[in-house]
Amino acid sequence: MTTATLSLSELTAAATEAAKISAAASDAERAAWLTAVADALDANARELVEIADSETSLGATRLTGEVARTTGQLRLFARVITEGSYLEAVIDHADPNSTPPKPDLRRILRPIGPVAVFSASNFPFAFSVAGGDTASALAVGCSVIVKAHSGHLRLSERTAEIMADALSAAGAPEGLFALVAGREVGTALVQDPAIKAVGFTGSIPGGRALFDLATSRPEPIPFYGELGSLNPVVVTERALAERSAQLAEGLAGSFTLGAGQFCTKPGLVFIPAGTDFAAKVAEASKDKPALGMLTTRIAEAYPDGLRSFASVEGVDVVSGSVDQDAVSDGAAPVVFSTSAAKALERPEELLEECFGPTTMLIEYTDQEELSGVLAKVPGSLTATVHAQPGEDISGLVEQLSNLAGRVLFDGWPTGVAVNWAQQHGGPYPATTSLFTSVGATAVRRFQRPVAYQDAPETVLHPALRESNPLGIPRRVDGELVLPQ
């Protein structure tokens, strides 16, 4: 299962053979493999939560919920592939009377091959060994080699053992799934010619280094990286006048959740100038406890980020202290405040992510100034609007839609539903691609289209056969045809 028993070249060779078998397996067979893994993880949830808590200090309640989310993801992808529209089957019948004559063309999405997945630190289940990247790649017929995160190595190894046993018992091919560990092995994994795509969740520097490796190979491959996100929130003047106390409480709960280590944490909050909202956020945040961070490295970086913000002239510390020992005492909440003019003047320093329980309030004087500073915000996973009914926010929504992959209204971005409509991705650096890493369409990252021209029925995938034996949705001669 790990490089302790097999070399990387042996693992990738086995993954290549397993991918061929998995690609030829039916959707029902692969769905059964995913369900078997989900059942096995649920059966061992108590043990896994105990290991995870000892390595991450996230707490049993949070981790138990995350196991449920992880197994729910696996079962969702089992439903996705048996429903069938993920194949995007298209048939255009021959038309010999057209000018020029048109051949019979049938197109489908096929698995891309062996995939490398890099675990994230902040979600030791849902974005780790058995997480969404692994589940979506396995669902469509790819094999997967996971690079374990050093922040929860024992959990990764135990999760991998449970997964491997469940897959084997369910009849999945040997080599379909494997785990490796270590930075050098991870680098080599991205460069291995057998690997056809990479899924990554982590920091901008680490992700960008791997992205560059993936695209500079003799055979460049897709790198699906989720790297960093500021998740801007815009509050209108009317919204602030009507419900400032409620907004302050909501913001305080969101940016401190999980010690601010969620990729959707609201890091920038744009508010009208000249209000007492900052004081209300300070009041709502003052009793939020300091919490342990995921790794020593992350805890050491948090105060550095705080001091960087505080060193900029024109930035005020509204609540909390920038002088803290997050390693020994946990990360305590800090709220900053500045002006939109200052953010426009110093975007490289102020429009930056600080991983931890902190947020930056940015006061704007008018819509033009707000629009100008939003144009400087890097691509994000989410953007949020708090407005009152009847306000014309269409222009603002259009700008935020160009900035982020998910636009929220009168809510808070922490929390990502796992369903068919979810989009968890956005312009760089939020992600390095156009696809989502959460939800049903996450499978699209690990597929490529193949068209078959004038092919005999016997060689076609069942989804492309005239009789539609799978009973799935298809587009036939330009019309969407749903199963009866």
- 66, 226, 353, 369: the active-site residue: 226
Q: Is 10 a catalytic residue?
A: no
Cβ atoms of 315 and 346 closer than 8 Å: no
Tell me the C-alpha distance between 432 and 231, whole Å.
16
Comparing CA positions, the residue from 396, 259, 402 lying closest to residue 320 is 259
Comparing CA positions, the residue from 82, 39, 76 lying closest to residue 170 is 39
**Dihedrals φ, ψ of 113, to 5°?**
120, -160
Tell me the C-alpha distance between 108 and 447, whole Å.
9
Q: Is 369 a catalytic residue?
A: no
Cβ atoms of 294 and 316 closer than 8 Å: no
Angle, to 10 degrees, between the axis of helix 132-140 and the axis of helix 27-43?
Answer: 150
Tell me the C-alpha distance between 158 and 221, whole Å.
30
Strand order in the sheet with 197-201: 177-180, 144-147, 115-118, 197-201, 223-226
Beta carbons within 10 angstroms of residue 424's beta carbon: 25
Q: Is 252 exposed, middle or buried (0-12, 13-18, 19+ CB in 10 A)?
A: buried
- 263, 353, 354, 363: the active-site residue: 263
List the catalytic residues. Answer: 226, 263
